[in-house]
Structure 1
Amino acid sequence: MGKIRSTSLEEKELKRGMIIKAAFELLNQNFEKLPSISEVAKQAGVAKGTVYTYFETKEELFLAVLLSLFHEWAKSFRFESNQVESFLNEFVESLVQRPVLLKLASKAPVVLERNVSEEVFLNYRKGLAKLIDSVATIMKDKFETPQDNLRKKVVLSYNVLIGVWQNCDISDSFKSSLNEHGLEIVNIDFRRDGLAILKPLWGLN
């Protein structure tokens, strides 16, 4: 009986993962808007009701997508150098390579988290905290810095970069228009300005 239950749970996790993957694929094709549950169901090859079996709302689904992207992002860090500047460059560049994560993360506090239950919200934040802990644990030995300090710096760095992204996430034509009108000061560059803010936070000049 226990074996049957285990298989059932495995099947449910596989189907849940398939739905999350389908939602990500749609976002990756066009991340200007969140796909509907119907669109996700079609992409996953399941009934609309099946999606609602695993996720009560669209926002809950996309928080799950975001958390899966955070997991993948955290695993991508190489930590090949014990130089803080090298880590910051990797930190910023890794986000540049993940525009879907940035888009979704910028929606999390203002759209996604406001339309889910308290339980879903807490589970999402717990998952985020666990990831931060795992990254800080690895960094602790590399940088010889107390883990609590690293956790705070990682959280602050992430929040800073989301803010930078929100300000630079405009069309190329708008960016060109800003330059043409002498408004370079408010034409935000994610790499340049992100690093400029992070370096003092991490004790670099």
Structure 2
Amino acid sequence: MGLNSEIDINRDHQNHSSDISISVSQRKRRKEARPQEIIEAAFRIFSVHGYAAATMMQIAKEAGVAKGTLFLYFPTKEALFRAVIHAFSKQYRLNLEQISDQSEVSVEQCLQAVLLETARQLQDPKTTALIRLMLAEATTFPDLAATWHEEMTDKVWKAFDQLFLNTWGGSNNNIDLYRFVLTGPLISAMLYRMLFQHLPVAMPDLEQLAKQYTHILLSAMQNIQLSDTE
């Protein structure tokens, strides 16, 4: 065997080893991404078919995995639905926490940031799809309502409560009412959009509503402070 042949063999061996390394790396990345891919597939199936009619087989097919693989990550449909809600609400909750941590911002800036972030979340088509599902099926499946409350409502309320205590110095006695005062108009506008989206009527812009509502709340707060000093 000549020198050139040995060089070619070594080069082929190196290329083959490199191909194996790339393949292993790709499989590793694919495996790490798989739970999120399954969650996204589950969201699409739940949105189209509803919770009751959706099957794990449909979700596995949508995600491009075997049914057995799906059960390795999520042993039940309930566990998968919980993962969907957790993933769906995670960024919103993180954004609220970041706003709360910005101690240098004014009350007006903080309030508007919170309302705008909430408006964007409520205007997201994924939010509309999940809330429509909850309204349709939560009474039939109380566990769905419990999951939504644990993974979404309760955690968001805690973020709001921390904002309230840190930024506006409220007391624990009025936190429950404050939550609904702050979010009520935005939720009402979102439901209006859901109910009448197919009619030729003007749809409320939630971000514009958030900005306008910020001024209304600040004005009310100033009036309360003035009345307290009199």
Shift of 1:164: 0.6
Return the letter of the residue paired with 1:71: K
* Structure 1 length-normalised TM: 0.59
1:83-120, Cα deviation, whole Å (9 max, x unpaired): 3432333234324544034313532541242342x344
Partner of 2:149: 125
Cα 1:194/1:138, change in 2 over 3 Å: closer
- Say whether 1:189 aligns with 2:205: yes
The SS at the match of 1:188 is coil
List runs of 5+ in structure 2 lacking aligned partners: 1-32, 223-230
Selected match of 1:94 from 117, 129, 132: 117
Q: Tell me the alpha carbon deviations over residues 116-159 of structure 1, each in whole angstroms, 9 at most, x when there is no partner.
A: 2x344324323322431244224422222224534532344334
Determine if the alignment matches structure 1 residue 72 to structure 2 residue 88: no
Letter in 1 for 2:110: F
Choose 150-159 or 71-80, whichever is displaced more: 150-159
Report deviation, 1:204: 5.0
One-letter amino acid of the structure 2 residue matched with residue 160 of structure 1: P
CA contact (8 A) 1:41 1:48 kept: yes
Paired residue secondary structure (1:145): coil
TM-score, normalised to structure 2, is 0.54
Deviation at 1:200, TM superposition (A): 4.0
Q: What is the rounded CA distance, in whole Å, between the counterparts of 2:90 and 2:173 in structure 1?
A: 20
C-alpha distance 130-165 of structure 1, shift in aligned 2 (>3 A): closer
Q: Which residue of 2 aligns with 1:104?
A: 129
Aligned residues: 173
Q: Which position in structure 2 is the counterpart of 1:54?
A: 76
- What secondary structure is seen at the aligned counterpart in 1 of 2:182? helix
The answer to whether 1:44 aligns with 2:69 is no
Q: Quick check: 1:146 aligned with 2:175?
A: no
Q: CA deviation at 1:15?
A: 7.3
Aligned to 2:136, the other structure's residue is in SS state helix
CA separation of 1:168 and 1:154: change in aligned 2, threshold 3 A: same
Whose helix proportion is higher, 1 or 2? 2
Structure 2 residue aligned with 1:164, among 167, 176, 189? 189
Partners of 1:147 and 1:87 lie apart in 2 by 20
Q: Distance in 2 between matches of 1:159 and 1:120?
A: 22
Residue 106 of structure 1 contacts residue 162 of structure 1 at CA under 8 Å; is this kept in 2? no
CA RMSD of aligned residues (A): 3.9
* Identity score, percent: 16
**Structure 1 residue ranges without an equivalent (≥5):** 1-13, 179-185
Larger Rg computed on CA atoms: 2
